[in-house]
Every structure is written in C-alpha cells, then in structure tokens.
Structure 1
Amino acid sequence: MAARPIIAARVEDRLNRVANRLLDSRGWQESILAFTGYGNSEQLRILARIVMRPSEDLGIVQAAQALLYRRGWRNFMNAAKVDARLWVVIDDTRIPVQADRGGYIDVRVRNPGLQPGWHNVRLEGDGGSSALAPVQVIGDDTTFGIVSDIDDTIITTLLPRPMLAAWNSFVLTEQARQAVPGMARLYQQLLTAHPGAPIVFVSTGSWNTYPMIQRFMTRHGIPRGAILFTDWGPTQTSWFRSGVDHKRRCLRELARDLPHISWLLVGDDGQHDPDLYAEFASLQPGHVRARAIRQLTPGEHTLAHGLPMEVASDARWQPDTAPEVRAPDGDGLAAQMNDLLAPGR
C-alpha cells in the first residue's frame, strides 16, 4: 500500500482545491505555461504547467508596464489547476497527459518524425486553453552539448543566503539583474563551433521564475535551450526538495535521454557544482567532456557563505577524465577551453 503523503503535501493539496473553486467562481480561466523541452529521434520531453489566471482585462498601457517593470514576486503569483489534463498535439497525433499535483507536466512522448532542429509542439487543455511548447530535437550524430547552471553562472543572484536570495528573487525588478560577463559570448562561440549541439540549463530555481529567466536570456544574448527547474513546494514524502538531488537526477536523465552526447558541465564554486560535476564525471566518464567552473569573487563568496573563499570538500570525487578549468568570467573560461574543446578532439 502506498505511503500516505506528509501533512504539508496534504495541506497544500487541500488549499489548491479550495483556491481553484474560489478562482473559478471569480472568472479565472485555465492557462498553459509551456516550457522549453528537448528530444531525439525516438522521443520528446514535454514540459509545461497548467494554472489558473484572471481573464485578460488589463489595458494595453497596463499590460506593457507589467511586462517592462515587473518585480520578482509577480513571477510567483500563479495558482496550480488541480487534476488538470492536456493533449500533446503533433500533426495528426493527439496524446493525453495528466499533470501532477502541482499542475506540472513532465512527460516523454514518442517522436512521430520531427527532424533535428527547433519545433513548436501544440498543447491543448481540457478547459479550452492552448500553448506552443518549443522543443529542440537533437540529431543522433550530435556528440557535444552544454549543461549550464543559472544562478551565479549566467546571472548574479548572490545565492544561497536567504535574505539576499529573497531580495533578488522577490523585490528587484528584472532590469536590475546583472549578467555574468562573457558567458553569453562563451556559449555562442561553443554552439557556433558545434552546430546542432544543445544547451540545457539545470537549476535549483523555481519554475515560477521561468518567464523572467527567458526574458533575461533574450536581453543578454544567452542561447536558448531547455530549462530544468524544480518546484519549491513540499513533496509527498518531505517538507523541502533537495537542490543537489534535483541536479543529480537531471544529469542522469540527460545521460539516459541523449546517450551519444558528451557534455561540457558549466557551474560556479558558490554552491555544490564542483563536487556534483566531479561525481558525475567519475560515475559517467563517457558523458562528460570537460568541466568549467566560474569562480566567485571573495565578496560574492562572503555574501554566499560568510567566508571569502570556497571551502574544499575532503570527500570530493577526483575523476580520471573530464578536465576542469576555472576562471571568474566567461572570457577567462573560453581562453582555457579553446584547445580543449576544439572540433575533432
């Protein structure tokens, strides 16, 4: 018999159902938030969320202001639709899928013949809503890809100190976020040198920040790719989700879904990326080409940990393959990787 969900999950589920009834009575409508997925010649990974939103009653000026001057907390104002279903529509194929308790869709469906490149997959909800989910189909002959962290790797957020994280996530306007110098240029150069290669962003951030992160990447020239966030709410068995376990699971899934790709793993030394990447390179050496670690400044380390430098782990894995390079920005990392990642090596 399945174990009963913990009280936090039961309370959250109850509140979601009550909220759905209340919002429905006030005229809120079903809405599909489509996230960027990936796939291969055999299957596609579709990512989305079904939520309740107010009807479109904002004027043009108000809507423009909401988009251009949006504070972080607005990204979290969504209500999950309970027991939601939708259809994945690809040409004449219609595939029914069920959202999880948080309204999230994370499913793999058969690829009916989409060729390598970018495609838009149509999602249709039972409530009449629809959306287009971008999916990158990766060719079977592609052997290189990039996995990138987000916080303090491409965007400076000064995580994980709680007060600073809350200020950056909930208070600052989007235009106040700063990009890490040189990272967009590094990724553009690497993907130009490896046509058709994917970039996948793996982060412990919340799915609610997805629209903001997408706009940030567009403004700063970060190449588009699948984004794998997590839900910050309780699970069926625990009060809080483990960020390290989330990243570890994402790396395993990428190795399984795209077995022919050897990844460049890019992160920073502010949290667990060096240890996690070294562990993965030791356990899956055929799936890791190299590791690139962005070095935080002493000030950033102090804000993140209360110490002016990274504290090395005595238990850190030491992989025999997958060399590691470190630098404070993208240009420094690029200078060290020119020969390491040259095509044909």
Structure 2
Amino acid sequence: MWGDRGRGGYVVHPYRGYGSRREAFLMGRVFRQTALSDRIPRYGVLRDLADVLRRIIRWGLPEVSVEVSLGENVTTVTTDHDGYFDVHLLLEHPLPDDTSWHHAELHVVMPQAEPVHSFAEIYIPPPSADLLVISDIDDTVMYTGVANKLRMLHRLFVKQAHQRMAFPGVAALYQALHAGPSGNAKRPILYVSRGPWSIYEMLEEFFQLNRIPVGPILFLREWGISWRKPWPRRAEDHKYDVILHMLSMRDDLPCVLIGDSGQHDPEVYARIVHEFPERVRAVYIRRIERKPDRERAIDRLRDEIRHTGCDLMLAEDSLAMAEHAFEQRLISERGLEKVRRESSR
C-alpha cells in the first residue's frame, strides 16, 4: 500500500489498474504535499487530523508528463489541471499468462525538481475467469451512513481505516465470489465509491484489515473541491459509466452487481439489466433502512427486470446474498458456510 509516512515534496501516486490481455488502464495523480511537523506524534487524534488535512490539501501539478512502462509496453501521458492522469495502454507486447498481477513503472521528470518514480499494480484476470463482480462500497461493504450527510462526511474524511466497520460476513462473501464454485476462479472484483480520490489510501487499508479481496481496484471520483466551490461536483452517472466501461472491455463475461437501498443503486443496476439483459446474473441490494415507499420502489424495479431472468434481491444481510449466490451456483458450499460462520459472530 502506498504511503508517504509524513514526508512532503513531490509525489506520483498511482491507483491500482486493471485490464485484459489486449489493453490496460491506470489512473493516478502527481501532486505536492506538505511534510508533517516533527512535533506531531505518530499516533493519536492530532496525527489523524493532520493526515486528513494533508490528504485534502494537496497541490495537483498540471501539464506534467508521466511515462508508464508495463513489460515492454510504454506510453506517456500528461496530467490534467488537478494533477490527475489517465492511462490507456494497448498491449502490443503480450504479458506473461501465468500471473494476474503485473507491475507498471512510472517516471516523472519535472523542471527544477528531482525525478519522481513509483510503481503500480495492474490486475488482468486469467482466461478462466467466468464472472465479473461490481460492488458499491458505501453502506454496502462499509458502514458509511450516507442518509445523514454530516455524519457521512465525518466518517468519510475523519475516521481512520481501523475505526471503520465492515458489515458482518462481507469479507467471506466477497472471498467466495472471488473464488467461485471451483475455489480458484480468481474473478475480478471492482469497487465503486461516491468518495473522492483523497480517501484512497484509507480504503486500501480498510480492505486489507478486513481481509476483503482488493479487487483489483477502487473507482472513486474527483470532487473538484476548492475554497470558492466547497461542495463536490455532481457525479450522478459515475457508477453507470464505470459499469458500462467494464462490460464493454470484457464483453465475454457476465456480471453480478452489489449495492444498497439507500441511494440510487437499484435504479442504476436495473438500467444496466435493461440494456444488457443477458449479461447480469444477479443484483444484490443490501437493505440499510426500512422505508415502505423505498422498498415498494425497489419491488417495482425487481418486477420490471424479472423477464430477463436476473434476480434483483433486497437482502437483509450478507448471508442472504450468499444463500442466493449458492443456489445460482455462483459460489461454493464451502464459501457459503464461511459466510454463515462470519455472519453469526
């Protein structure tokens, strides 16, 4: 996991990438960050607050060239006005078939500064992968409380990874989906969040602490916050665009979609099922609050897509999802039992 350990200066921070045997995708940011004072302790509330501020107040470096090498494949991209870069690399030189995780090297040369280097992990599913899992994070994997905006912002920015709570059975459920009925499917799992890229490190640590498959990657978004514009840009189609991109990249893979009942997940997922009726095996919606009007709306969506053969399930917990997934032969009996054990703790 990337971390600057309190150091300041110029940083190139790539996020985990993904791809197929034909192409690879990678995002990241080049920025300047202040160093932590030696007077701030390594642990405690003061250190947590300092880390939060440093993540939010980063100076993105625009118009910087980033050279990316993946095996013998090389390309150069330029950062945007916020310092972010987006890499689409055609794999003209094939990568080894005996591994799924590949290391890309990144090099940045800036005037009047030392060169900056980094590396990124890129996940390319094996040819045997038979399913793509796309999951929300907020109130689906991790309790966030998006219904209460102020509490949600506090949990989003202030709480550290070890202070956050995963839903019971989530780790076992995602491990089972990753492994499949065979136990060795190595299915790609992609996570989408409403949160900004500045919480990426915290989410990575949260996934590792809770033994949740890392996926390969997290899809977050740039909020575009500034002193003149203190609220994030609207990103209503963020999740829809991500799913569309993944389905187009691997047009041979069916998928499972997982979300929660609190926001627009059921509507977005039902739209995907309407547009790709043969691609979606199941939609799991975690019930996070009991609102009759909301549940009736989700029931109507379930009825609308029933003709496609895809089940939209409003699930009480991770175990209910796992039981349905086992019935659909998406996970093994061993995986189901592990979810049952974790859910009962």
| TM-score > 0.5 by shorter chain | yes
Corresponding residue to 2:102 among 109, 119, 134: 119
Contact 1:184–1:330 (8 Å) recurs in 2: no
Provide the rounded CA distance (Å) in 2 between the counterparts of 1:63 and 1:84: 34
Q: After the TM superposition, which residues 97-176 of structure 1 pair with which residues of structure 2 at under 5 Å, given as runs? A: 97-111=77-91, 112-114=93-95, 115=97, 116-127=99-110, 128-176=115-163
Higher mean C-alpha displacement, 145-154 vs 319-328: 319-328
Equivalent position amino acid for 1:152 in 2: D
1:113-158 residue CA offsets vs partner (Å, 9 max, x unmatched): 2235011211111231111111101234422011010000011110
* Counterpart secondary structure, 2:213: coil
Question: TM-score, normalising length from structure 2?
Answer: 0.80
1:50-108 residue CA offsets vs partner (Å, 9 max, x unmatched): 111235x766x968438996347333232211212200012344311112222112221
Provide the rounded CA distance (Å) in 2 between the counterparts of 1:138 and 1:96: 24
Contact 1:281–1:321 (8 Å) recurs in 2: no
Q: Does 1:49 align with 2:41?
A: no
Q: Does 1:321 align with 2:309?
A: yes
Contact 1:206–1:231 (8 Å) recurs in 2: yes
Provide the rounded CA distance (Å) in 1 between the counterparts of 2:37 and 2:22: 43
Q: Does 1:291 align with 2:283?
A: yes
User: Which residue of the partner structure matches residue 246 of structure 1?
Assistant: 238
CA change 1:93–1:62 in 2 (3 A) is farther
| Runs of at least 4 residues off by over 6 Å | none
Query: What is the CA distance between 1:252 and its match in structure 2?
Result: 0.7
Query: What is the CA distance between 1:191 and its match in structure 2?
Result: 1.3
Higher mean C-alpha displacement, 279-288 vs 165-174: 165-174
Q: Percent identity?
A: 25
User: Which residue of the partner structure matches residue 216 of structure 1?
Assistant: 206
User: Which residue of the partner structure matches residue 274 of structure 1?
Assistant: 266
Query: What is the CA distance between 1:343 and its match in structure 2?
Result: 6.8
CA change 1:341–1:47 in 2 (3 A) is farther
Q: Does 1:73 align with 2:61?
A: no
Query: What is the CA distance between 1:312 and its match in structure 2?
Result: 1.6
Corresponding residue to 2:65 among 67, 75, 85: 85
Provide the rounded CA distance (Å) in 1 between the counterparts of 2:233 and 2:31: 21
Q: Does 1:233 align with 2:224?
A: yes
* Counterpart secondary structure, 2:243: helix
1:232-251 residue CA offsets vs partner (Å, 9 max, x unmatched): 1179xxx9543330111101
Contact 1:69–1:174 (8 Å) recurs in 2: no
Provide the rounded CA distance (Å) in 2 between the counterparts of 1:35 and 1:289: 29
Provide the rounded CA distance (Å) in 1 between the counterparts of 2:316 and 2:207: 20
Query: What is the CA distance between 1:180 and its match in structure 2?
Result: 1.1
Corresponding residue to 1:312 among 289, 297, 315: 297
CA change 1:66–1:76 in 2 (3 A) is farther
Equivalent position amino acid for 1:321 in 2: G
CA change 1:53–1:110 in 2 (3 A) is same
Contact 1:47–1:104 (8 Å) recurs in 2: yes
User: Which residue of the partner structure matches residue 257 of structure 2?
Assistant: 265
Q: How many residues align?
A: 306
Equivalent position amino acid for 1:81 in 2: L
User: Which residue of the partner structure matches residue 333 of structure 1?
Assistant: 321
Unmatched 5+ stretches in structure 2: 1-6, 333-345
Contact 1:270–1:310 (8 Å) recurs in 2: no
Query: What is the CA distance between 1:110 and its match in structure 2?
Result: 1.4
* Counterpart secondary structure, 1:179: coil
Equivalent position amino acid for 1:32 in 2: V
Provide the rounded CA distance (Å) in 2 between the counterparts of 1:180 and 1:209: 19
Corresponding residue to 1:191 among 163, 169, 178: 178
User: Which residue of the partner structure matches residue 17 of structure 1?
Assistant: none
Higher mean C-alpha displacement, 287-296 vs 171-180: 171-180
Contact 2:285–2:314 (8 Å) recurs in 1: yes
Provide the rounded CA distance (Å) in 1 between the counterparts of 2:208 and 2:121: 15
Provide the rounded CA distance (Å) in 2 between the counterparts of 1:120 and 1:101: 27
Question: TM-score, normalising length from structure 1?
Answer: 0.80
RMSD, aligned α-carbons? 3.0
Provide the rounded CA distance (Å) in 2 between the counterparts of 1:328 and 1:69: 37
Unmatched 5+ stretches in structure 1: 1-26, 302-306
Q: Does 1:179 align with 2:166?
A: yes
